[in-house]
Amino acid sequence: MGLSTRIRHLRYVWSWRLRYWWLDTPAGKYAQRASGVIVLLGLTVTSVRAGLAVAVPGAVPQPQVAIIWWVVWAVVSLVIGVTLALSASKPANPAETQATAPTTQDGRSAVRYYGTNWIPDPAMLAWKIVGKDPIKTKGGKK
Name which of 102, 85, 94 is nearest 131 in CA terms.
94
| Widest distance between CA atoms in the chain | 94
pTM, 2 dp: 0.36
Type of residue numbered 58: G
- Flag whether 39 is in a domain: yes
- Flag whether 105 is in a domain: no
- Flag whether 1 is in a domain: yes
Q: What is the pLDDT of residue 17?
A: 92
pLDDT tens track for 70-124: 899 999 999 999 999 888 877 666 655 566 666 666 776 666 767 777 766 666 5
- Flag whether 27 is in a domain: yes
SS (H, E, C) the chain: CCHHHHHHHHHHHHHHHHHHHHHHCHHHHHHHHHHHHHHHHHHHHHHHHHHHHHHCCCCCCCHHHHHHHHHHHHHHHHHHHHHHHHHCCCCCCCCHHHCCCCCCCCCCCCCCCCCCCCCCCCCCCCCCCCCCCCCCCCCCCC
Please enumerate in sequence order all residues whose Cβ is within 8 A of that of 9, keeping only pairs 6 or more positions apart, or say none. 1
Residues in the chain: 142
- Flag whether 89 is in a domain: no
pLDDT tens track for 38-73: 999 999 999 999 888 888 877 776 777 788 888 999
- Flag whether 48 is in a domain: yes
- Flag whether 31 is in a domain: yes
- Flag whether 47 is in a domain: yes
What is the domain extent for residue 33? 1-58
Q: How many domains is the chain built from?
A: 1
